[in-house]
Amino acid sequence: MNMVSIRMTILFLFAGFLLGPLAAQDSTFRGEKIRFQKDIREYLVRDSVQPPPKQSILFIGSSIFRRWTTLTDDMAPLPVFNRAFGGSRTHDVLYYMDKIVFPYEPKLIFYYCGSNDAGGSVPANKVVNNIKDFFERVEQRLPETKIFFVSVNRSPQRIAKWPGIDSINAMIQAYCRQSAKRQYIDVNIALFDRTGKPRYDLYLDDQLHFKEESYKEFTRIIKPIVAKEWTALHPPSER
């Protein structure tokens, strides 16, 4: 075994040490099975080798963000990094906050999660409560941080779940209006044509996840918001 392999083995063991006590405390969280330990361990290993800059811009949530592989290039030169994982639900993101949110002390957080909850018929109120819990934990620990909720997608695969998705989006949009540190971003407007039909050309065969072109649409909507907020935090005269 060469030195690189030895080093990576040690790092994985160290990450397991960090994650192990967390997962060992109980096997469930809020009545749901604890999942995605492997994904989180990989992030911890990566952070131990090359941690992202603190007080930058965090994207977190489920596979819709995780599959945004061009995020860094799409948002350049803005200092973004991605910690979305698996097919996570809102309780999963809550569970791992201490590991993959707070250590980075992000100034801006872009959050996408809830579609897997809706797809699993989790009641909208429960999903919204988990999202609010995420927001409020951030507001307590990082009071200067602003959080952006990216709307839950109304994907063709989950057309039967649209009423619940619409309820989640509406409740979180209203919630975001209550604080200047929260903002709701609607990306569904880019996913439908002028007649109100889904743009099937943006989806993979599963009619749930997105093609690369979809992320260009996301970039068109989200990047100006990221740039505006980052510039407000770092005006040219202070650079």
Question: Where residue 100 sits, what CATH number does that domain have?
Answer: 3.40.50.1110
Average pLDDT over the chain, rounded to whole?
A: 91
* Structural domain contains residue 11: no
* Structural domain contains residue 17: no
| Cβ(140)–Cβ(89) below 8 Å | no
CA distances to 13, 71, 227 from 184, rounded to whole Å, are 39, 19, 16
Tokens 């998705």 belong to residue:
165
User: What's the whole-number mean pLDDT along residues 65-78?
Assistant: 98
State pLDDT tens for residues 106-146: 999 999 999 999 999 999 999 999 999 999 999 999 999 99
* Structural domain contains residue 26: no
**Cα-trace Rg, the chain:** 18
pLDDT at 5: 45
pLDDT of 27 above 70: yes
Nearest to 157 by CA among 58, 87, 222, 90: 87
Pairing of the two strands 28-29 and 32-33: antiparallel
pLDDT of 22 above 70: no
pLDDT of 6 above 60: no
Domain that holds residue 66: 57-234
Higher pLDDT, 34 or 204: 204
pLDDT at 133: 98
* Structural domain contains residue 3: no
pLDDT band at 236, cuts 50/70/90? confident
Measured in Å, how far apart are the chain's first and last C-alpha atoms?
46
User: What's the whole-number mean pLDDT along residues 208-235?
Assistant: 96
Domains in the chain, number: 1
pLDDT at 7: 46
pLDDT band at 19, cuts 50/70/90? low
Distance between CA atoms of residues 19 and 98, nearest Å:
11
pLDDT at 235: 84
* Structural domain contains residue 31: no
* Structural domain contains residue 4: no
pLDDT at 234: 87
Distance between CA atoms of residues 42 and 100, nearest Å:
11
pLDDT of 63 above 50: yes
pLDDT at 28: 87
pLDDT at 237: 67
| Cβ(94)–Cβ(114) below 8 Å | no
The percent of residues in the chain predicted with pLDDT above 70, rounded, is 88
pLDDT band at 178, cuts 50/70/90? very high
pLDDT at 201: 97
Please provide residue 50's backbone torsions phi and psi, each rounded to the nearest 5 degrees. Answer: -145, 80
* Structural domain contains residue 12: no
pLDDT band at 49, cuts 50/70/90? very high
This prediction's pTM: 0.89
The pair of three-digit structure tokens given for residue 182, joined into one six-digit string: 């929260």
* Structural domain contains residue 180: yes
